[in-house]
Structure 1
Amino acid sequence: MIKIYHNPRCRKSREGLQILEESGKDFEVVKYLEEIPTEKELRKIINCLGIKPINLIRKNETIWKEEYKNKVLNDDQIIEAMLENPKLIERPIVIKNNVAVIGRPPENIKGIL
């Protein structure tokens, strides 16, 4: 099953959703600002992406700039920041069979379909 972590207010996320819709494949939409991932889910996403937690952070978000930017944080603290402020999580994220991509640009999604 394909899963997209989606923010309907984000243009790139809407473009990613459109790519999935046009693919004709079944998928699940997770509006992650409403259905905040658990710590276990977030760690799985990071593992599927094959990245460090810091690389999943939206560093231009005001909350990041004001609360975290100049601090030295370990991976656990970065994950905790994303759980407390899911707006910090980069989007969209598409997962298929334990492989994930960040849909920036949205065309990245086509690579796992």
Structure 2
Amino acid sequence: MKLTLWHNPRCSTSRKALKMLEEAGADVTIRKYLDDAPREDEIRAVLAALDVRPIEMMRPKEALFKELGLTRDTDGETLIKAMADHPRLIERPIALRGDAARLGRPPEKVLELV
């Protein structure tokens, strides 16, 4: 089964995760999520697969997070909409395989899906 990586080529952690997957022989489909933004339903599915709250899949230190008036206490649906509208708020990389997902922090976590 193919593995999909939500990838930002400008992120060193994302690049490292991709390299590790390729070296492990994984069949990887790259989704440049900044160019191909996930829909709200896709974000919900990934949250369920990761078994995390929306804030745990976000980059709260990103300036845009504060500019949008978001906080760690913002309700989940608002955070999901913010990620769909502004994908750079999504923490990366995220590896997906079937119903399983791993947030690549640290990048070695993605290897759990190989």
Tell whether the structures are fold-level matches, with TM greater than 0.5: yes
1:105 Cα deviation from its structure 2 partner: 0.8
Aligned length: 113
RMSD: 1.4
Identity of aligned residues (%): 38
Please list, as runs of the form range in 1=range in 2, the aligned pairs for 1:27-66 lying within 5 A after superposition: 27-66=28-67
TM-score by length of 1: 0.93
Deviations 1:28-85 (A, max 9, x none): 1000000001111111111111101111110110011222344842111000111111
- Bigger shift: 64-73 or 5-14? 64-73
Matched, 1:12 2:16: no
- Conserved? CA contact 2:6–2:95, under 8 Å: yes
Give ranges in structure 1 of 5+ residues lacking alignment.
Answer: none
The one-letter amino acid paired with 2:99 is N
Give ranges in structure 2 of 5+ residues lacking alignment.
Answer: none
Q: Identify if the C-alpha distance between structure 1 residues 109 and 71 changes in structure 2 by more than 3 Å, giving closer, same or farther.
A: closer
Deviations 1:1-39 (A, max 9, x none): 211000000000000110111111212100000000111
Q: Where do 4+ consecutive residues of structure 1 move more than 6 Å?
A: none
